[in-house]
Amino acid sequence: MSDELERPDPVDGVRIEASDGILVITIDRPEQRNAMTKAAAHQIAAALDRLDADPELAAGILTGTADTFCAGMDLKRFAESGERPIVEGRGFGGLVEAPPAKPLIAAVEGWALGGGFELVLAADLVVASDGARFGLPEVRRGLIARAGGIFRATQVLPRAIALELLLTGEPITAADAHRYGLVNRVVAEGAAVAAARELAAAIARNAPLAVRASKAVARRSRTWTDDEAFERQLEYTDAVFASADAKEGPRAFAERCAPRWTGR
């Protein structure tokens, strides 16, 4: 499967491309450092709906053009008209309040600032070039990181490091983000999307029901006790064990052949 949607107005551009079971979403506003607009947020939300609805798609990648992932909210538009790049029910960028059920990988080149970093924090996996930088500078502008940054940063980073980001507005490097567990892989500049495709391809080889259930339990169990987790996970795991794919996996293993997943 391969297709590319007609490129939208470049002022609010988001490019969508699907191939080999992977949906790549590219924020394409290089002259504005890929700052987020309301129109771009709606395009991202529509792309994520497509990711979850299309059985041929296994994973998504979110990235930006040129040397910036996303500089956050378009502050010029906010100052001029009060525009906020929010989609009802999905939040900033059409993502942060309702990530997709399928895995989403952030491929970061250059700066991921403010809301741009909050988009990264809403993803499941992160690949960054060695020149990438992550920051939450809202306090320097009289604002606050309310698109998930305040609580997600403290979930994925050591508390002291997260608070330093939030209270000083100073960024961290890709190397430090990797050392603290935020980033899965650090690659050469210009190679983030290619490395993200490798991760997505590895995901795409696996049983889709098992992948989605694994992500759902991993995300939702953050606040569960162990006793709750063993009970509440059954809502997701029982369906996987009862699926046709649960029979196909062992069969393919026994016969030493590639499994043919049906997602059922």
Report whether 151 contacts 127 (CB < 8 A): no
* Structural domain range at position 224: 208-255
For residue 100, give every residue at least 6 positions away whose Cβ sits within 8 Å of its Cβ, in sequence order, or none. Answer: 48, 51, 52, 60
* End residue of a domain, out of 181, 204, 227: 204
Report whether 162 contacts 153 (CB < 8 A): yes
Please report how the helices 149-156 and 159-168 are oriented relative to each other, as an axis angle in degrees rounded to 10: 150
Do 35 and 109 belong to one domain? yes
From first to last of its 264 residues, the chain has per-residue pLDDT tens of 444 444 444 457 899 999 999 999 999 999 999 999 999 999 999 999 999 999 999 999 999 998 899 999 988 888 888 888 999 999 999 999 999 999 999 999 999 999 999 999 999 999 999 999 999 999 998 989 999 999 999 999 999 999 999 999 999 999 999 999 999 999 999 999 999 999 999 999 999 999 999 999 999 999 999 999 999 999 999 999 999 999 999 999 999 999 999 989
Instruction: Provide the annotated active-site residues.
Output: 118, 138
pTM: 0.93
CA atoms within 13 A on the CB side of 16: 18
Do 238 and 194 belong to one domain? no
Query: In this predicted model, what pLDDT tens digit does every residue of 90-141 receive, in sequence order?
Result: 999 999 999 999 999 999 999 999 999 999 999 999 999 999 999 999 999 8
Which residue type occupies 102?
K
Classify 190 in phi/psi space as left (phi over 0), alpha (psi -120 to 50) or beta: left
Do 114 and 217 belong to one domain? no
Instruction: Count structural domains, the chain.
Output: 2
Residue 224, both tokens:
């569960």
Distance CA 167, CA 136 (A): 9
Query: In this predicted model, what pLDDT tens digit does every residue of 26-49 receive, in sequence order?
Result: 999 999 999 999 999 999 999 999
In a domain, 249, yes or no: yes
Do 73 and 90 belong to one domain? yes
Do 95 and 200 belong to one domain? yes
